[in-house]
Chains A and B, each alone.
Chain A
């Protein structure tokens, strides 16, 4: 019986390894296609292509410090007792998870893709996909850019927009979680 279980576990690990390898290959192929597009575009319009490369360099320089922050947060999370963390996540009231992720999303800074590894980490530690959706939606609120938005529109508009976005970030998380509930027969 134990041998059978071990064999099953080994098969599962092997399949997971194969899937990871396949996913990694797909990422590299995708990157290759995009790089190839740049080479083709260079021959079509070299000025615009160089401007695009400069823009890419600027984004990379912008996300390096954010990736460092994400790295530090991920290391801190990895130091926590995983079982206790999973238990705490499981036990926490659902609404609290949505609200906390909504606040985190609002104060998080920089491009969203820099935060994906951190969110994935939380997901693997037991956080459902709903609060992740909440985090991603609440990023619609840009605290640092509020003065600019106020100057373009007006304060009343920005306050209503911010509150509505926060409320709907929680709602989106809830809907995503509902969509993952097992269907009743």
Chain B
């Protein structure tokens, strides 16, 4: 039992340096990259905006509450709901900042495949959600 407790703790501690690096990177992104200019990135083309929404959400990370607040601001600024939804989904499901730790844990191939797929699916989920919302 003692060995298992120790082995498990060791497995967790081993991942601390990379986990700590990702948290430190989040701090830099939060304080040095402002969200004010995010709204200016969008065009008025639904498909392009959905892609931009997914891309922006993929780059930023952190507490989901922040993504909701930014999404609300984007909505007030008149950005399409398709773009906002893609942004919300990719914020949580795609993690470019977390990619190094993901690659270390499950392999680079998994991290690359999963993040690209998640960014594409964020667009698909957005298109389906907003279309259904309009129809129902």
> Interface residues, chain A, CB within 8 Å of chain B?
23-24, 26-28, 30-31, 34-35, 37-38, 41, 45, 48-49, 51-53, 55-56, 59-60, 63, 67, 70-71, 74-75, 78-79, 111-114, 116-117, 119-121, 123, 129, 132-133, 136-137, 139-140, 142, 145, 148-149, 152-153, 156-157, 160-161, 164-165, 168, 171-172, 175-176, 179
Q: A153 to B126: give the CA distance in the assembly, Å.
A: 14
Main SS at interface, chain B? helix
Query: How many chain-B residues does the 8 Å CB contact rule pick out?
Result: 57
Of residues 29 to 65 in B, which have CB atoms within 8 Å of A's CB atoms? 30-32, 64-65
13 new A-B contacts at CB < 8 Å, known A27-B104, A133-B110:
A34-B24, A37-B28, A51-B31, A111-B23, A116-B19, A117-B105, A137-B121, A142-B64, A142-B92, A157-B133, A160-B129, A161-B125, A176-B113
Q: Which residues of A contact B101 (CB under 8 A)?
A: 113, 116
Task: Tell whether, in the assembled complex, residue B114 and residue A176 are in contact, meaning their CB atoms are under 8 Å apart.
Answer: yes
Q: List 21 A-B contacts (CB under 8 A).
A: A26-B104, A27-B104, A30-B21, A30-B100, A35-B24, A37-B28, A52-B27, A52-B30, A70-B12, A71-B8, A75-B4, A78-B4, A78-B8, A117-B11, A133-B114, A145-B64, A149-B68, A152-B71, A157-B133, A161-B89, A168-B121
CB nearest to B121 among chain A residues: A168
Q: Nearest Cβ distance between residue B63 and chain A, in whole angstroms?
A: 9
Of residues B5, B9, B21, B95, which shows the largest number of chain A Cβ atoms within 10 Å of its Cβ? B21
Q: Which residues of A contact B4 (CB under 8 A)?
A: 75, 78-79
CB pair B31 A113 closer than 8 Å: no
What CA separation (Å) do A152 and B65 show in the bound complex?
A: 11
Question: Which single residue of chain B is at the shortest CB-CB distance from A116?
Answer: B105
Q: Known: A56-B23, A133-B114, A179-B113. Is A156-B136 also a contact (CB below 8 A)?
A: yes
B residues less than 8 Å from A160 (CB atoms): 129, 132-133, 136
Say yes or no: A27 contacts B8, CB within 8 Å: no
Q: A27-B21, A133-B114, A157-B133 are in contact. Are A112 and B12 (CB under 8 A)?
A: no
